[in-house]
Amino acid sequence: MSDVKTKMREFLESVKTVSVATCMNNGPSCRIMEIQKVENDLKIWFVSHKSSPKEEQIHQCKSACIVSFNNETLTDIRLFGTFAVYDDMETKKCIWKDELAVYFQGGVNDPELTVLKFTPEKLEYRDMKSGGLIPEVEIV
């Protein structure tokens, strides 16, 4: 795994939430989302409500951006990529955690539960503590 990918994975494992921007009416729409799982290849899994505006936005334009900042380490990340939406029970069970029941009263069987997989295409990692004002960039 490259140095940028390794740093990115470590960063993603250290945070619980990130800002996720999708496209809406030719402009950005951003919200905070909780990471459910990060794979070794940096695919990131989230859960969503089927009726949320972001679902429609993803169906119209799969491109998205994820941004996060760690104030303690003075590092930040930006990932550019695409979303895929999953509604099958196998994927839902794979991602499900009991603490999600607060958002999905019907549990893993809640008809509103969908799973989003973000696949990165470009990574930007910046460490300002070590003087890095320009991010390290990698195309995935």
Mean pLDDT, the chain, as a whole number? 95
pLDDT band at 26 (very low <50, low <70, confident <90, very high): confident
13 C-beta neighbours (distance < 10 Å), count: 9
Residue 1 has pLDDT above 70, yes or no: no
Cα 94-50-35 angle, rounded to 5 deg: 45
3 state SS of 79: strand
Task: Record the tokens describing residue 126, joined without a space.
Answer: 């910046």
Share of the chain above pLDDT 90, in %: 86
**pLDDT tens digits for range 43-59:** 999 999 999 999 999 99
Q: Which residue has the tokens 């999905």?
A: 104
The CATH fold assigned to 3-127 is Pnp Oxidase; Chain A (2.30.110)
What letter represents residue 75's amino acid?
T
Domain boundaries, the chain: 3-127
